Amino acid sequence: MLKAVFDDVLRQTVAGFSDRLAAFGPRLLAMAVVLVCGILAALLVRVVIPLVLALFRFDRFASRSGLTVVLRKGGITRAPSAAVAAMTAWMVMGLFVLFAVAALDLQIAMDLLSRTFLYLPQVLIAGAILLLGTLAASFLRRSVVIASVNAGLASGRILGLGVQGAVLVLASAMALEHLGVGRSIILASFVILFGGLVLALSLSFGMAGRDLARQFLERTFTKTLEGSGEDAGDPRRHL
């Protein structure tokens, strides 16, 4: 009798597993098909995008705008068009992975897919902010260096790097704030950093221009005393 009960339980277990596998098998096959399509689409994107960007001379534009230098500093030694193609291919592959997970028709997969699509526009806008900030930082650095050279300043390169760093920090803070990553911490850090920078510049300017300010005040006070007919022999005596 015990053997009959054991056989019945085992038979029901195997039958239940077979039914679940029969119901889940098509979903698993659909996931595999979607993944294969994603791999093919990513490879196609990686081949087509460099050809399209070459028609618009994107690499030359990136070299002139300073984007190539920024990529090299970030450890990316390939051409900017190849970097854009690789990034786009990985994004396409990521989307197909989400589609493949959604093909399983699981509740957690559907929730993940919906949240990803809701968050995707913010990621794209943050990436656009970083790209525009990088281009603006490179342009302002060159403009500051050229203006400093024309003005005869010896520290033009340092000023250009400082302006570029400030713009990059501002763009990064804006991108992270748009993504909603630690908004209060980013805001507090930016305020502290910006306030410290302004204070440092104020102190350095005040210390460097102390003698000039004293001479200007002395000349102004001397002219005032001469105009009023008072003795201006030693203007510091009246201070």
Residue range 37-89, pLDDT digits in tens: 999 999 999 899 989 988 888 888 878 777 777 677 666 778 888 888 888 89
- Helix (H/G/I), strand (E/B), else coil: 40: helix
Kindly state whether residues 63 and 94 are assigned to the same domain.
yes
- Helix (H/G/I), strand (E/B), else coil: 180: coil
The residue that leads in pLDDT, 139 or 2, is 139
Answer for the pair 66, 138: CB distance below 8 angstroms, yes or no.
yes
Domain membership of residue 110 (yes or no) is no
Domain membership of residue 114 (yes or no) is no
Question: How many distinct structural domains can be found in the chain?
Answer: 3
Answer for the pair 120, 48: CB distance below 8 angstroms, yes or no.
no
Mean pLDDT confidence for 185-202: 73
Domain membership of residue 113 (yes or no) is no
Kindly state whether residues 39 and 94 are assigned to the same domain.
yes
From 53, 80, 105, the end of a domain falls on 105
H-state helical runs in the chain? 2-55, 58-65, 67-73, 80-103, 107-151, 156-179, 183-208, 210-228
DSSP state, residue 238: G
Domain membership of residue 234 (yes or no) is no
Kindly state whether residues 101 and 29 are assigned to the same domain.
yes
Tokens encoding 83: 């970097």
User: What is the pTM for the complete model shown?
Assistant: 0.53
Q: Which domain holds residue 215?
A: 187-227
Tokens encoding 205: 């300017």
Which among 101, 91, 107 has a CA at the least distance from the CA of 34?
A: 101
Kindly state whether residues 206 and 223 are assigned to the same domain.
yes
Is the predicted pLDDT of residue 212 greater than 70, yes or no? no
Domain membership of residue 207 (yes or no) is yes
Domain membership of residue 82 (yes or no) is yes
Confidence of residue 16 (pLDDT cuts 50, 70, 90): low
Kindly state whether residues 155 and 211 are assigned to the same domain.
no
Domain membership of residue 5 (yes or no) is no
Kindly state whether residues 130 and 87 are assigned to the same domain.
no
